[in-house]
Amino acid sequence: MKTIPDRLLQSAACSRRFLEADSLIKIYRFILSRQNPDGGFRGRGAESDLYYTVFAVAGLKAINYPIPVFKVWKYTRSFGMGKDLDLVHLVCLFRLRAAFSMLGITRRRFLKQLEKHRDQSTYGLFLKLLAEEGLAQDDPVHVAPDAPTTQLAAAMLVTHRNAKATADAVMGRFVASGGFVPTDGIAVPDLLSTATALFALVDAGVKLDAIQQPCFKYAESLWRDSGGFAGHAADEFEDVEYTFYALLTIGSLIQSMAKNYGS
């Protein structure tokens, strides 16, 4: 079975079947515009961040455009083994370093660093799966039906199982105008919740016929003149993270259509 990072990239790459060449070029230029001289990519601030660098590199891979490999390599090397990083940034560093040749001893040192983080939450397990390629979580991960959409989606992916109750809870977050809301108490959808929900549902084999068109329109509504995507309707700032989530949203919808109707 392909790893979660492989499946994420594969899904996002399917967006190329929907986006026109001019659109892909605009997205490419936007992502590159967020790279700093140190080789890292910035988010909403001016400083480079491993977190946003992962999304920038993934976005470039998804649209099949060149990655500034040497600059990214120099940036990641500046963090060493990441011993002072939190779990999120350590996993980001590992994913970026794994894109280059890595000695077995280096990989084992990274995995030991990961073991020091005792986060056993659904999100923590999901993050570790992103790093420890091929690792499967045998025991079911239980989350409350009212948990955030991202946690529900992560639970579906961590166990590699189609837990119907969890899938139903995720589908319950869809809004008729398009997109998924982050929780039951929030009425406005966002791109993070939408992308993760669609990816998990498609991965679990759930049919999305009834919601495809509204979700396509929702993603398109968040595209800005810069070539990047914003996170939600009221968001005035686009970044590389949400641009990747837009690609994942569109790609997941394309995958769903292909599964149901063929290529």
pLDDT in tens, 41-70: 999 999 999 999 999 999 999 999 999 999
Q: Which CATH number is 4-137+144-261 given?
A: 1.50.10
Asked whether residue 224 carries a pLDDT value surpassing 60, the answer given is yes
Q: How far apart (Å, rounded) are the C-alpha atoms in residues 239 and 258?
A: 29
Q: What is the pLDDT of residue 62?
A: 97
Q: What is the pLDDT of residue 135?
A: 45
Amino acid making up residue 102: M
The helix (H) or strand (E) run that includes residue 238 is strand 238-239
Going from the C-alpha of 234 to that of each of 55, 186, 192, 222, 229, the distances in angstroms are: 22, 14, 14, 9, 12
| Sequence-distant (≥ 6) Cβ neighbours of residue 179 within 8 angstroms | 189, 190, 191, 193, 194, 214, 215, 218, 219
Q: What is the pLDDT of residue 134?
A: 46
Asked whether residue 263 carries a pLDDT value surpassing 60, the answer given is no
The structure tokens 């001019």 sit at 22
- Other C-beta atoms within 10 Å of 150: how many? 22
Going from the C-alpha of 149 to that of each of 35, 65, 103, the distances in angstroms are: 30, 31, 37
Asked whether residue 137 carries a pLDDT value surpassing 90, the answer given is no
Least confident interval from 23-37, 104-118, 163-177: 104-118
Strands 229-230 and 238-239: antiparallel
Q: What is the pLDDT of residue 261?
A: 54
7 vs 100, residue with greater confidence: 7
Local confidence band at 30 (pLDDT 50, 70, 90 cut-offs)? very high
Q: What is the pLDDT of residue 78?
A: 92
Q: What is the pLDDT of residue 131?
A: 66
Does this model's pTM top 0.85? yes
262 vs 240, residue with greater confidence: 240
Chain mean pLDDT for the chain: 87
Least confident interval from 66-70, 98-102, 190-194, 196-200: 98-102
SS3 57: helix
| Sequence-distant (≥ 6) Cβ neighbours of residue 231 within 8 angstroms | 190, 191, 192, 222, 239, 241, 242, 245
Cα pseudo-dihedral 256, 133, 49, 197, rounded to 10: 30
Local confidence band at 6 (pLDDT 50, 70, 90 cut-offs)? confident
Q: What is the DSSP letter of 99?
A: T
